[in-house]
Amino acid sequence: MKRKQILAAVVIAIFGAEHALADGVAPSYGKCNPKEPAGSISLTTDQPDTLIVATVLPNPGWYNGMSPASTQDGFEYCMAAEIARRAGLKNLKLLNLAWDQYISGTAKGYDVAIATTTITDKRKQIFDFSQPYFNSNLGVAVKNGAEVTASNIRSKHIGVVQGNMGSDWVINTLKPSRQPALYQTQPDLVTALLAGQVDAIISDTTLVLSATAGTKGAAEVIGQYDVNQGYGAVTPKNSKNSAAIDKAIGDMMKDGTIVALSASYLAPLFGKDPNSVPVWQLP
């Protein structure tokens, strides 16, 4: 009897594996475990059976890793895995770019770009965007105890990420008295703040919250500006995949996938509720 039970278990395991994988190849989605069945969207990809995602690393919480090879999960990584799964694609690959290359629209060899990219009218001239999957304000971070306020920030030396929506907003809307310092990445921005190279840094509230949470109280987010913006997935202008990517994002917003990913990867990272950060008005 025991032998029959073992044999039955082996048969079920083999059948189950063949049934789940069909062609015998296990999906490669890192540590992500997308649940939705395949087939809700169809994508034309650069490589067979593979979704290539352009991004900018490192970006903790959104992509947990320093390089494509070491990144196995994160909010946006697993969101990309969901897109791949829903398109019936077995593999997910990352294409790591410098921010200025990523945002210039000159990069090739990817199917979708996902890198906490704020949707703007200017960028819509270069890319197609999905509907927003995350709202983004601009947060102000300073060293603990710094004398920076909503009323005096224009007189302070501010650091921003070059090409980031925050840098455009600081230069054209906030208009500080001193030219902002430009940096290539979020980690460079925080390092400059802690080193005293700038008085404050301005970037997406979620990004400065996650970046300063790791400073053990040396830096803090003291305010944010409501700019009525959101992050969207990017596809090349007039891509055949734009409508399908937008549908996948919309479906994930409706079925609770985005909320679940946020709870898993972002809430623990921020250290505080972004909505608890005071909203500043322009001086």
pLDDT averaged over every residue in the chain: 90
Q: Is residue 67 located within the same domain as residue 191?
A: no
6's tokens: 């073992």
pLDDT digits (tens, 9 = 90+) for 245-278: 999 999 999 999 998 998 899 888 888 888 889 9
Question: What integer pLDDT is reported at residue 1 of this predicted model?
Answer: 44
19's tokens: 């049934």
pLDDT digits (tens, 9 = 90+) for 199-215: 999 999 988 998 898 89
- Please check whether residue 190 lies inside any domain of the structure: yes
Domain of 242, CATH number, reads 3.40.190.10
- Please check whether residue 20 lies inside any domain of the structure: no
Q: Is residue 240 located within the same domain as residue 124?
A: yes
Sign of CA dihedral 65, 68, 69, 74: positive
Q: How far is CA 189 from CA 81, 151, 242, in A?
A: 29, 23, 32
- Interval 207-235 mean pLDDT: 93
Domain span at 123: 41-133+232-270
Q: Give the type of residue at 124.
A: K
Q: How far is CA 18 from CA 21, 22, 69, 90, 215, in A?
A: 5, 5, 28, 15, 48
Question: What integer pLDDT is reported at residue 15 of this predicted model?
Answer: 34
This prediction's pTM: 0.74
pLDDT digits (tens, 9 = 90+) for 106-115: 999 999 999 9
Where does the pLDDT of residue 2 fall: very low under 50, low under 70, confident under 90, or very high at 90 and above? very low
Q: Is residue 236 located within the same domain as residue 126?
A: yes
Q: Tokens 């404050």 — which residue? A: 200
- Please check whether residue 254 lies inside any domain of the structure: yes
Q: Tokens 């903790």 — which residue? A: 60
- Please check whether residue 15 lies inside any domain of the structure: no
Question: What integer pLDDT is reported at residue 271 of this predicted model?
Answer: 82
Q: Is residue 155 located within the same domain as residue 186?
A: yes
Q: Is residue 103 located within the same domain as residue 188?
A: no
Beta bridge mates, 224:
139, 279
Q: Is residue 223 located within the same domain as residue 257?
A: no
Q: Is residue 156 located within the same domain as residue 97?
A: no
Phi, psi of 3 (to 5 degrees): -65, -40
- Please check whether residue 6 lies inside any domain of the structure: no
Sign of CA dihedral 84, 87, 90, 95: negative
Of residues 17 and 221, the one with the higher pLDDT is 221
Q: Which of 199, 184, 206 is nearest to 137 (CA)?
A: 206
Q: Domains in the chain: how many in total?
A: 2
- How many residues in total does the chain contain? 283
∠ Cα 215 191 208 (to 5°): 60
